Amino acid sequence: MGAPEETYFTPVVPMDFTYNYRVGPYITRYLDGFKDKKILGSRCPGCGLVAVPPRKYCGVCNKVMEEMVEVGQEGTLENFTVGHVTIEKGRLAPAEAPYVLGLVKLEEATSALLARVGGIAPSEVRTGMKVKAVWKDEAAGDYDDLDHFEPV
Amino acid sequence: MRNVGIVGIGYTPVFVSKRKDVNISEMISEAVEAAFSNTGLGPKDIDAVVFGNMHTFEGVNLPHLWAADYIASLGKPLMRIATGGTTGMSAFHAGYYHIASGLHDVVMVVTYEKQSEGDSQVGLMGIITPEVMAMIAAGIDVTGGSGMGAIGGGSAGGISFQASSYLHHSGAGIEHIDEQAALERRNAAKNPYAHLKDPDATAEKVAQTPLVSWPIRFGHICPTSDGATVAILASEKAAARITEKAAWVHAVANCASDATTANLIESQITDPAEHLPAIIASRQAYERAGIADPKKEIDYVEIYNGFAHQALMYLEKIGMCEVGEAHKLQEAGELEMSGRMPVNASGGVVSTNAIGTSAMNRVTECALQILGQAGEHQVEKDVHKAVAHGWGGMMQYVTITVLGDKPKKD
Amino acid sequence: MDINVAIVGYRMQSAPDLVTSRERLVFELTRGLFDDLGIERTDVDTTILDSNDFMDGRTISNVFIDPPAGVYMRDESKVEMDAANAVIYACMRILTGQYDTAMVVGIALTGSQASPYLYIEYTLNPTYERQVKLLNEVNAAAFQARSYIDRFGYSERLLDDIAALSLANAALNPNQARRISGITADKVAASAMYYEPLRELHCYPPTDGGCALLLASERKAKELTDKPVWIKGMGMSTETYYLGERKLYQSSSAAEAAQRAYELAGVKKPAQEIDVAEISALFAHQEPLLAEAMGLMGEGKAEQAYAAGETAIGGKLPINPSGGALGAHPVSVTGLMRVAEAARQLRGEAGDNQVKKAELAVVHGQDGVCAQQNAVLVLGI
């Protein structure tokens, strides 16, 4: 039932999609915290979950998280992967060099934060390692300010 | 078939151009909170959730995944429905089938759009990406006059063919479109959840707005809105526990045609105002609802009119009056909130258009009229039965819902 | 409640690149289905389409596949998630008694996309993950794989064994897209590393594909076929979006979905009662992880089960005898193909992939990063 060969397009659509994503009050405060090199989370009044980055709802309790808390700059590497590829704009390609991504549980936080892990050879990385936040010198209130985590 | 009733409705506090203060999921959660607070229900009372929006507008794919924590859906079945402009009503229908099938008792339907976050016209043009690509490949400038002519100039352009055909067949004039827009913006002024409101709107004022593509003027066209709507549906048994008064679903129906009926591409062989799917779906819905004469039996109508003429055109299509009669009813004042056949007391889509909610709001507004809870925009006559209409896709897809004040008898 | 809705026919197709148009694919699948059953499009009372606008590259993608599916001046709606859910919706519609037949059609040209992973990138929170640009579907799965093998102290070799078994089954199956002859665990282990511990052959291949099913009420099913496959149970569930708050080594939503499906089907001991399972495992480790959630495998027993061949075509409880999603993953269609593959088993039409005893099957579909949402159906003869 193979289709005969026919003309088809593989377009890169030249339409200009512009999005303006409003971040809302929680991410606004999170990024404000970055200006002072602080990491903020939100605490659930039900189960006590401290979510980093902060957000409005704890889905499990269906409660609004109103309380903002500052969490620690150090934490535990709960899980990691060494990337040998990158996926950018939906395309998978070999990475220039292996790099480490980790799920970091910060002190006083309940959720784990996905971040780059540096300052260590990929082959040396182990789960359970203590790591700490490394900031860019000049924090501007952008996600990039929190550059990566490195072993304590 | 099991009866299904609407037992709760929740809107975001406002429907406006730009909700700059919240992100998408936060905005959606406001409508869920409203539905819970209006009914006294909570997440534990909900068996399943249905979710709908038109996701290419905001550029967030399957947004129910991110929103899951904000809509009380954890640990629950969560179904995403998407049919374009009709998504809100298609999602409502899915909620209805969840219960009518006997599988669930209480289902929450969540719909939204936050149109300020994307570009709706570009999103709409995405419907015909391959056609646009073929035109580009053939050397046609799609942004220039000939290209725009061929593709109808986006939604408003395509609709102008429909409006001019409607005027030709009905004998109505552009002044009737002006008046319909004015009437609905006046109605919108009484609806706290409407977007464009003008208590002093007149046909003369609308007639002064620029012509976009004859006979469509700027004042005939819907806004782009940010907002969310939630409806909670229940089986007869569950409804009795939750509320004393529900609005009951008597029938749902829908019908799809093919894209050429939009009269925009491939050929111009059909009449974009013919809209056979509206005729087929409404007849099927009346038959299922046991309605022999909709003109006599239906008290209230909500039409999905992104463009003002569509309120008049679809009244004729869905059998609420004869062809050529709608504008005469308008002249006689019968379409007003005080009239014999009130239409779009909510202000219609022409006043408020957060697309994912637009077809859903037609149903919830019918429900509010039946429940007598429409507040300032409650119509004067008693509403026992109402019909809600939605159109979408490429002007080739229609959904219909018939509601009543009592459960349907077999 | 008794469901009494049957699958009466199916058609499916997949390839790395089908070299076809969306419309032609839909037409060939549905026309083929009608011909198999000796019916016409007007015999289909309602249709549930399933395609994803981002994958399709078109807003309101059902508009253009209505006509080739025979949906002209007829009833249709669209589910936009894994099409196992579309089967559940179609089944609901028949259960109301309003319709006797319902068709489900899913298509996705994922393999011939220039950027097959863009679809999932766009599902991420646009105010956070999409801006931070660290998370994607494959590295999330790598975290899940690490969490799973660390939890039970498995060696990474388990992933190679699982993938080799799936891919060997896929090689026997003409419906699959990735068919590698002579596949072994060593060959899997030699494939390119993506995100440790996941290698290329541990991961789904982006694939073109489509599938069409016809469901019918009990009365109509007996008219249309002498080999009806009955839907006995259905269930869905959802868990938190936030990866850093999930126990990645398990799937609470798959467990809940399965529990709901088993309850409807009256299945009490799935590991004993189920004859064959078709699970949408997009990555090798998800097969045992989801099988555990669905009560088909004991916790911590994966290494033992795979070593003993328990999940192989000739094993005690064959899992993915079709080759599963490692053989083809047309986004959103995969769960529907699992339904069709299970029907193929239950009707004894599975050829080289046929398991010995196939009377009761469980099938699974998933959506979201690390299977945030799951749908489970129980099918039987």
Q: Where are the domains of chain C?
A: 5-115+206-224
Half-sphere exposure of B258 (CA within 13 A, CB side): 15
Measured CA to CA, the distance from residue B321 to residue B303 in angstroms comes to 13
- The 8-class DSSP code of residue B138 comes to T
In the predicted structure, residue B259 carries a pLDDT above the cut 80: no
* ipTM, 2 dp: 0.98
User: What is the sign, positive or negative, of the torsion defined by CA atoms of B147, B151, B153, B154?
Assistant: negative
Give yes or no for a contact between B78 and C238, defined as CB atoms under 8 angstroms apart.
yes
Encoding tokens for residue B97? 């089938």
B400's CB contacts (< 8 A; 6+ apart) are: B251, B252, B253, B254, B278, B281, B282, B284, B285, B318, B387, B388, B389, B390
Q: How confident is the model at residue A8 (pLDDT cuts 50, 70, 90)?
A: low
Q: Are the Cβ atoms of A112 and C244 closer than 8 angstroms?
A: yes
- How much is the average pLDDT of B74-78? 98
Contact of B103 with chain A, judged by CB distance below 8 Å, is answered with no
Nearest CA distance, C72 vs chain B (angstrom): 5
Q: Are the Cβ atoms of A60 and B133 closer than 8 angstroms?
A: no
Q: How confident is the model at residue A26 (pLDDT cuts 50, 70, 90)?
A: very high
Percent of chain B with pLDDT over 70: 89
Q: Which amino acid is at B105?
A: D
- Which residues in chain C are closer than 8 Å to A116, comparing Cβ atoms? 134
Contacting chains of B (3 CB pairs or more, <8 Å) are: A, C
Nearest CA distance, B229 vs chain C (angstrom): 19
The predicted pLDDT at position A16 comes to 61
Of A5, A21, A116, the CB nearest to C134: A116
CB pairs under 8 A between A and B: 76
Measured CA to CA, the distance from residue C346 to residue C276 in angstroms comes to 9
Q: How confident is the model at residue B141 (pLDDT cuts 50, 70, 90)?
A: low
Q: Which amino acid is at B115?
A: Q
Of C53, C57, C125, the CB nearest to B66: C125
Measured CA to CA, the distance from residue A127 to residue A151 in angstroms comes to 11
In the predicted structure, residue B367 carries a pLDDT above the cut 90: yes
Q: Are the Cβ atoms of B74 and A60 closer than 8 angstroms?
A: yes
Q: Where are the domains of chain B?
A: 4-119+224-403
- How much is the average pLDDT of B277-305? 97
Contact of C128 with chain A, judged by CB distance below 8 Å, is answered with yes
Contacting chains of C (3 CB pairs or more, <8 Å) are: A, B
Predicted model pTM:
0.96
- How much is the average pLDDT of B242-269? 78
Q: Which residues of chain C have pLDDT under 50?
A: none
Contact of C200 with chain A, judged by CB distance below 8 Å, is answered with no
Contact of A99 with chain C, judged by CB distance below 8 Å, is answered with no
Mean pLDDT lowest for which of B97-106, B176-185, B199-208, C14-23? Answer: C14-23
Contact of B130 with chain A, judged by CB distance below 8 Å, is answered with yes
Which chain C residue's Cα is nearest to B400?
A: C75
How is domain C5-115+206-224 classified at the CATH fold level? Peroxisomal Thiolase; Chain A, domain 1 (3.40.47)
C179's CB contacts (< 8 A; 6+ apart) are: C170, C171, C173, C327
How is domain B4-119+224-403 classified at the CATH fold level? Peroxisomal Thiolase; Chain A, domain 1 (3.40.47)
Nearest CA distance, C164 vs chain B (angstrom): 32
B 139-158 residues with CB below 8 A of A? none
- Which residues in chain A are closer than 8 Å to B25, comparing Cβ atoms? 56-57
Q: Are the Cβ atoms of B56 and C260 closer than 8 angstroms?
A: no
